[in-house]
Amino acid sequence: MPADLVIGAQWGDEGKAKIIDYLSKEIDLIVRYQGGANAGHTVVVQGKKYVFHLVPSGVIYPNTVCVIGNGVVLDTNYLIKECDELNKEGFDVYNKLLISDACHIILPFHGIIDSHREKNSGEGKKIGTTGKGIGICYADKMMRIGLRTGDLLDEETLKQKLEYFLKLKNEELIKLYNCEPVKLDAIYDNLIQFREKFKGKIVNTAYFLNKELNNGKRILLEGAQGVGLDIDFGTYPFVTSSNPTTGGALTGSGISHNYLQKIYGISKAYTTRVGEGPFPTEVYEAEAERIRELGHEYGSTTGRPRRCGWFDTEMIKHSVRICGINSLVITKIDVLSTYKSIKVGIGYELNGKKLDYMPSYGLERVKVIYEELPGWESDITGISDFNKLPEKCKSYIHFLNKQIGIPISIVSTGPDRNDTIFLD
């Protein structure tokens, strides 16, 4: 059976989790493939809101198996906290969750170093990270010194690896950041506790997932962040430290590309971004405030106000190109209900020349070419039938579709699972 993929086509928070939950009805296994607890994924079912950070967003369905793939950087304490909270809500997460034995583990000093670096970076150098230690943990992975979940399975190996790892990190903490060194025993005991909680659940998920696909099971791959935050194809250095793009879905899960079928690109009907970095269609002050309040645009992980702007066609075309997105999803279109007219960025100019792609350099200097479309000025929240949308709203959707050139399969008209229009 095929594997489908959900990717954020902007700078994260596009409403991926809502769409993953919606699609999960037909799915056997949901796999998170990159990022960590920097993600904040919101699902609303019959008015009740759930925010996931590490646990895959399909967990609410009783029969889906949830998998944390090898590409995820795992904060073990955070995962336990999240699972315990979900358990209290009546979800049997401990029995539904499998964890790759090749996930890199986030330890307390990763967050400490992340925060120190942000605090001490000079003017214009701050990234605005979530402070969860994501980039530092991925850096240790690339340095080939990191600790992996599989290392927990043998106590002797764990002690040896941890000793070497802490020796290197303590040097860094003391010399570079003037911090207290961390002690092995407390970290060791904590990791053993984690291992006991997830006994039998730390496995070779790449082997397992490919086997399940061969056995006819359906898989949905859950991206965190978005293409604009991709370490290679995003607005470097103002990015996260992983690949939310299709390449990252394959390396972060171990699923063969032969299985990939639907690649959903999720985009808001406008654009938002949290943290620093270029944002060509950004609006400011009262104009930004209006979108922010109507769309409740505050970060699901850090609560920071999100920067807001208009839909950026060139950015979405970039995401389609890089990821092979073959199905577009437009979310939060209800947020534009009160607008008399709506702007859409339809292209970039740099140094007086029209660009036909999103540049890797100089994005902060592009001039955006806009088209202004009439708004529909009526509340469309919760509409689930395309034919019931006002004509001007349909025209807005058709316009985006024509600009981008791939089918729009889902339009979301509210946060709830049912506020969804499915277009074949």
- Catalytic residue set: 13, 41
Task: List residues binding ligand IMO (CB under 6 A).
Answer: 8, 12-13, 38-41, 127-130, 132, 134-135, 224-226, 229, 240-241, 274-275, 300
Shortest-Cβ-distance residue relative to ligand IMO:
275
Interaction of residue 71 with ligand GDP, rule CB under 6 A? no
Which parts of 119-178 interact with ligand GDP (CB under 6 A)?
none
Minimum distance from CB of 130 to ligand GDP (Å)? 12
Residue ranges in 50-120 assigned as alpha helix (H): 76-88, 93-96, 108-120
If contact means CB under 5 to 8 A according to the sort of partner, which of ligand IMO, Mg ion, ligand GDP, none does residue 130 touch? ligand IMO
Interaction of residue 413 with ligand GDP, rule CB under 6 A? yes
If contact means CB under 5 to 8 A according to the sort of partner, which of ligand IMO, ligand GDP, Mg ion, none does residue 34 touch? none
Nearer to ligand IMO, 127 or 358 (CB): 127
Kindly give, in sequence order, each residue whose CB lies less than 8 Å from that of residue 169, ignoring residues fewer than 6 positions away.
107, 109, 140, 182
Interaction of residue 82 with ligand GDP, rule CB under 6 A? no
Which parts of 35-54 interact with ligand GDP (CB under 6 A)?
40-42, 44
Minimum distance from CB of 14 to ligand IMO (Å)? 7
Task: Identify the DSSP state of 35.
Answer: B
Can you tell me which of 8, 111, 244, 265 binds ligand GDP, judged by CB under 6 A?
8
| C-alpha span between 19 and 417 (Å, rounded) | 8
Interaction of residue 228 with Mg ion, rule CB under 5 A? no
| C-alpha span between 78 and 37 (Å, rounded) | 7
Can you tell me which of 8, 15, 35, 40 binds Mg ion, judged by CB under 5 A?
40
Residue-wise burial string across 36-64, b where 16 or more C-beta atoms lie within 10 A, e elsewhere: bbbbbbbbbeeeeebbbbbbbbbbbbeeb
CB 301 within 8 A of CB 41: no
Kindly give, in sequence order, each residue whose CB lies less than 8 Å from that of residue 175, ignoring residues fewer than 6 positions away.
none
Which parts of 306-345 interact with ligand GDP (CB under 6 A)?
331-332, 334-335
Nearer to Mg ion, 71 or 254 (CB): 71
Minimum distance from CB of 345 to Mg ion (Å)? 22
Sheet holding 97-100, edge to edge: 202-203, 97-100, 65-68, 29-32, 219-222, 3-8, 260-268, 327-331, 408-412, 420-422
Nearer to ligand GDP, 40 or 56 (CB): 40
Please list the residues that pair with 220 across neighbouring strands: 4, 30
| C-alpha span between 26 and 348 (Å, rounded) | 39
Distances (CA, A) of 67 to 97, 189, 203: 6, 25, 10
Interaction of residue 300 with Mg ion, rule CB under 5 A? yes
| C-alpha span between 420 and 416 (Å, rounded) | 8
If contact means CB under 5 to 8 A according to the sort of partner, which of ligand IMO, ligand GDP, Mg ion, none does residue 334 touch? ligand GDP
Which parts of 12-31 interact with ligand GDP (CB under 6 A)?
12-18
Nearer to ligand GDP, 21 or 151 (CB): 21
Kindly give, in sequence order, each residue whose CB lies less than 8 Å from that of residue 101, ignoring residues fewer than 6 positions away.
70, 148, 149, 150, 153, 202, 203, 204, 205
Interface with ligand GDP (CB under 6 A): 8, 12-18, 40-42, 44, 300, 331-332, 334-335, 412-415
